[in-house]
């Protein structure tokens, strides 16, 4: 049987390779990358057949880490609007703690070559899955009369678009994410909250 890649070692190499590519540029060859990593070329090719494979691994690790961060932030919240805001906050804080991540990913996207459509399609499926879950959460909140009647899909799309825009501004160095999330919450999210019914005495 062919030897299976060590997943922990693969993740370690992907993170190190990502930092090298970000610093040296995406024109770095696999030979140069192997030298910088201190591994033999056959070892690098065993884990990654090309730079796109490095990109996909980093992207997958990023989504897993982001999902864990979001779950930790939202699992104790009972109201769908609180969860929606927490997701926006958690996403921004996740990238704030990793200031070079978005810029590096954008560089890798730019050199995706023929595989870029496949990579984007994979990412699209992940994002759509998360989006659909948020829409369903808001829709359930409307049914429970916790959330005012609205178009849940439009609300979720707006929130995600604002968060994505803030992350791009973060790369440009002009982001004020806390102010943006506060404005988003005050003008879009909170007005959808149904007041709690007063108990009859």
Report residue 114 CA to chain centroid gap: 23
Mean pLDDT within 127-135: 92
- 101: nearest Cα among 18, 8, 10: 18
Tell me the pLDDT tens digit for each residue of 77-106.
999 999 999 999 999 999 888 877 887 777
Least confident of 30-34, 95-99, 117-121, 169-173: 117-121
The answer to pTM > 0.85 is no
CB of 80 closer than 8 Å to CB of 147: yes
d(CA 2, CA 169): 46
Between the CA of residue 81 and those of 72, 97, 160, 182, 193, what are the distances in Å? Answer: 16, 25, 14, 13, 7
Question: What's residue 18's pLDDT?
Answer: 86
**In whole angstroms, how large is the CA radius of gyration of the chain?**
21
pLDDT above 60: residue 11: yes
């Amino acid at each position: 049987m062919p030897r299976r890649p060590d997943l922990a070692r693969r993740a370690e190499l992907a993170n190190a390779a990502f930092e090298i590519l970000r610093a040296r540029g995406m024109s770095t060859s696999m030979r140069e990358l192997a030298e910088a990593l201190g591994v033999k070329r056959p070892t690098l090719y065993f884990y990654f057949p090309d730079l796109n494979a490095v990109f996909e691994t980093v992207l997958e690790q990023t989504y897993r880490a982001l999902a864990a961060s979001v779950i930790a932030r939202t699992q104790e919240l009972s109201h769908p609007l609180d969860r929606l805001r927490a997701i926006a906050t958690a996403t921004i804080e996740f990238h704030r703690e990793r200031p070079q991540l978005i810029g590096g990913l954008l560089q890798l996207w730019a050199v995706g070559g023929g595989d870029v459509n496949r990579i984007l399609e994979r990412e699209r499926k992940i994002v759509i899955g998360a989006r659909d879950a948020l829409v369903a959460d808001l829709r359930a909140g409307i049914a429970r009369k916790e959330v005012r009647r609205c178009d849940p899909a439009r609300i979720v799309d707006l929130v995600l678009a604002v968060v994505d825009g803030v992350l791009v501004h973060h790369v440009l160095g002009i982001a004020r994410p806390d102010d943006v999330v506060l404005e988003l919450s005050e003008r879009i999210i909170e007005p959808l909250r149904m007041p709690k019914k007063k108990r009859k005495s």
